Amino acid sequence: MKLSNLFLASLGALSLLAPAALAGPSLRVGAPATPQVRKASALQAVRYRKMKAAGVTCHVVEVDLYNPHVQLRAFRASDLGTRYRTFGSFVRQTKPIAAITGTFFDTATGTIICNLVRDGRLVEMGSVGHTLALDEVNRPTWMSTAGQYGGGQNWKNSEFAVSSGPSLLRNGQVCLNPRAEGFRDPGLFRHASRAGIGTTSRGKLLLVTVNQGITLHRFAQVMQSLGASDALNLDGGSSTALYARGRFVSRPGRRLTNVLLVTVRPGAPIPHEVELEALQAEETWDDQPGEEDSGPAPEPNKIDLSTQDIWL
């Protein structure tokens, strides 16, 4: 989907933001407050599944946030000296356990238009969408940041953060309001492949892609069915990408400017399988997509007419 309109929205998001978007608490810390330390290796903390949720075939990477050996990292093509990179190149260069497409960027210039934080430092700034942040013990915090430029936020306790959207779930309930978060590009509201990130009440991080065209509302139902309590939409459409344990299960149709990586935390033992899988990975499908991965998904039985202008 072309996001030049979305880029313009980021420059004027304060005027586009509805008052309701800032209602309620500006941040919410995930539970439990003190993660239980587990002794499993980094590889044991990451699980990939292909499954159906809300009637839609999806690809799911589940990360145990209580495991001290893993971390989430925002990584840009500019960190490797280029404006754009193929998804396969990102994986081969960084050797993650898993990776997913990141946040939105202007396709014409490559400019990333949402916040990205790494090691407490804001590396990309925007004012569109809300934010998921993780601290040094992988404790999630969901922040209401739409309409507020990232430079005005305090990121010192955030080892990782990504702003994106629209928000799909909050407290387990569908909460779609894209225009209030500064999203205006009509391409975002059509049937499209999707990518998303969410957390569960049991300390799991979910990285999810759907390779067939679905609406935002249907994607929110998918995340809800997977057990997410809070979730954000990531850059989907032609940018939809997911890598897990040596396999490219969602392949983008274009080069990307940023990705989110699940990596072994510095200082933790690095299983030899991690590097081996990344080196052997080919930027091709492991097998041909089945019928469930092509064409639009069937619509839900019940349609909420009050939200059709948002998601239909």
pLDDT along the chain (312 residues), means of 10: 44 36 43 52 91 97 95 97 94 94 94 95 95 97 94 94 96 93 85 97 97 96 98 97 94 96 88 69 46 39 32 26
What is the Cα–Cα distance from 176 to 169, expressed in whole angstroms? 7
Tell me what pLDDT residue 186 has: 80
On the CB side of 200, CA atoms within 13 Å amount to: 19
Tell me what pLDDT residue 275 has: 67
The percentage of the chain sitting over the pLDDT mark of 70, rounded to a whole number, equals 75
| Tokens linked to 37 | 């330390």
Inter-residue contact 189 to 311 (CB < 8 Å):
yes
